[in-house]
Amino acid sequence: MAKILVVDDDQVLCEMFTDGLGRIGHDAVSVTTLAEAKKRAFAEDFELIFLDVQMPDGNGLMELPELKKAPSEPEVIIITGQGDPDGAERAIKSGAWDYLEKTTAIKEMILPLARVLQYQKAKKAAARNTISLQRRSIIGSSRQLTKCLDQVAKMSVCDASVLVTGETGVGKELFAKVIHENSKRASNNFVIVDCAALPETLVESTLFGHEKGSFTGADKRKSGLIAQADDGTLFLDEVGELSLGVQKKFLRALQEHQFRPVGSNVEVFSNFRLITATNRDLDIMVRESTFRADLLFRIKAMSIELPPLRGRHGDIKEISIHYLSRLSQKYGIDPKGFAPDFFSAIISYHWPGNVRELINTLETTLNNALYEPILYSRHLPDNIRIHLLRSSVGKKEAPFKAKPEETTVSVEESDQALPVFKQYRDQALALAEKEYFQRLIRQTRGNIKEACKLSGLGRTRLYTLMKKHNISRLGWTS
């Protein structure tokens, strides 16, 4: 018996589905809003959720990723009254098990339901045989990272080609190394090829090797990096930078594991495993004819997309403590303590350069603090402090709720034309602000220091807003 949640705004359909599922031995309940669905999904252990798309309080596809985060990790099957190819694609990319056009026949739901339950049973059995993964320097325990590590564990026990994608600095090379080091090839070479750094004229000889005299400057025979990866792993970083000509030749080497060095008529065999990485969208490159579709199919037998650091807030503190400890040892500095504002600042920053930028920032921060025992946000590089300040200026909410009758801009329901929305909103905000500062000055009897403390504003900002609304201290002294 499975516990199932039906999410649909059609009450009659909900009752029909829950009754039908109950008759075949399952415990099914229904809700008619997305808000109710999220509340119940996070409070109860559902194996499966049938989710409608068009709901009274939103779009089911938009909430699908959130429902997948429920503690019981339910599978989600989308049910829709009007099938849409784009919606189907979005559903699968968001983690849906299936995308079904709505039907009143319960038998149409039985087969996908049976498959989900069979899959979950096998998944639980596999979880009991967990792999002890050597994580190297992959730090963190967030849900996003744990999901990636689960994929790494699966990739490590097979020989399939792997494509690692993600923004610059997320750690694509590090993850590739972890896959290699947890595989049966761990005792053999892990050969790194930076495709973006290879000169066009030397790409082929670097990959395939060359014979003596095969081109100007080839004064001796040299084996290529593919040959050096025999029985090990070949890692092509920034694979999207390879030219179409090299892609064609490499495709054959990948298919046959045989190739000819430049200037040679003899085939060389290499039993390499391939891992590639890129921060580019190879599907778009295929459509633009700058990357071969047949090569893409070969290199992404398995794929993993690494999340950006800004999506792993829970890991930032752990990563920082780890690398600050290593950096302190490197420079012979005593371990540092941390002020609360230090972690608040680095967690608030968006980290466009991801983990790589964070590590570089921590090194600069440590040098700024040098022998000071505590790290504060002021020790961070100026560019980060400036960004955080610019992002926060003017965003504090005043601890005051104005009376509606005193802050509403009147717009009579008549033939009179409505003002532009922005103008209407600005007028309302201006009235609310003016009322707030008038009351603030009266309450503090013109004491600017106390007014700053109560409002949470700096002295300069307070004076600027008072001047904007033509408010004086009414004769009170600070």
DSSP letter for each residue of 29-80: EEESSHHHHHHHHHHS--SEEEEESEETTEEHHHHHHHHHTSTT--EEEEEE
Q: Are 37 and 53 in contact (CB under 8 A)?
A: no
Domain final position from 305, 338, 357: 305
Task: Give the CATH number for residue 147.
Answer: 3.40.50.300
Q: Across the strands, what pairs with 98?
A: 77
Q: Whole domain around residue 26: which residue ranges?
A: 3-127
Q: Identify whether residues 202 and 166 lie together within a single domain.
A: yes
Cα dihedral 50/53/59/62 (nearest 10): 60
User: Is 138 domain-assigned?
Assistant: no
- What is the C-alpha separation between 6 and 186, in angstroms, rounded? 47
User: Is 71 domain-assigned?
Assistant: yes
Q: Identify whether residues 262 and 173 lie together within a single domain.
A: yes
- How many structural domains does the chain have? 4
Q: Identify whether residues 298 and 151 lie together within a single domain.
A: yes
Domain final position from 367, 392, 417: 392
Q: What is the pLDDT of residue 422?
A: 67
pLDDT mean values, one per 10 residues, the chain (478 residues) = 91 85 90 94 93 91 90 89 83 88 73 86 64 81 89 93 96 96 96 91 89 85 93 97 93 94 92 97 95 96 94 92 93 90 93 96 94 93 90 58 46 53 74 84 82 82 78 56
- What is the C-alpha separation between 253 and 71, in angstroms, rounded? 45
Q: What is the pLDDT of residue 194?
A: 94
User: Is 313 domain-assigned?
Assistant: yes
Q: Identify whether residues 450 and 353 lie together within a single domain.
A: no
User: Is 118 domain-assigned?
Assistant: yes
User: Is 352 domain-assigned?
Assistant: yes
Q: Identify whether residues 154 and 285 lie together within a single domain.
A: yes
Q: Identify whether residues 37 and 172 lie together within a single domain.
A: no
Tokens representing residue 339 in the block: 């002020």
CA angle 389, 320, 345 (to 5 degrees): 15
User: Is 257 domain-assigned?
Assistant: yes
Rounded to an integer, what is the distance from CA 107 to the centroid of its chain?
38
Residues 6+ apart with CB under 8 A from 317: 343, 346, 347
- What is the C-alpha separation between 263 and 454, in angstroms, rounded? 80
Domain final position from 363, 392, 421: 392
Q: Identify whether residues 34 and 90 lie together within a single domain.
A: yes
Q: What is the pLDDT of residue 408?
A: 45
CA angle 174, 158, 203 (to 5 degrees): 55
- What is the C-alpha separation between 174 and 270, in angstroms, rounded? 24
Q: Which among 25, 74, 70 has a CA at the least distance from the CA of 47? A: 74
Task: Give the CATH number for residue 18.
Answer: 3.40.50.2300
Residues 6+ apart with CB under 8 A from 159: 183, 273
SS3 451: helix
Q: Please state whether beta strands 58-59 and 162-165 pair in parallel, antiparallel, or not at all (unpaired).
A: unpaired
Q: Identify whether residues 369 and 417 lie together within a single domain.
A: no
Q: What is the pLDDT of residue 348?
A: 92
Q: Identify whether residues 115 and 158 lie together within a single domain.
A: no
Q: Identify whether residues 416 and 445 lie together within a single domain.
A: yes
User: Is 455 domain-assigned?
Assistant: yes
Q: Identify whether residues 161 and 59 lie together within a single domain.
A: no
Residue position matching structure tokens 């670097």: 206
Q: Identify whether residues 82 and 26 lie together within a single domain.
A: yes
Residue position matching structure tokens 């008549």: 414
Cα dihedral 96/99/102/105 (nearest 10): -90
- What is the C-alpha separation between 442 and 474, in angstroms, rounded? 8
SS3 267: coil
User: Is 135 domain-assigned?
Assistant: no
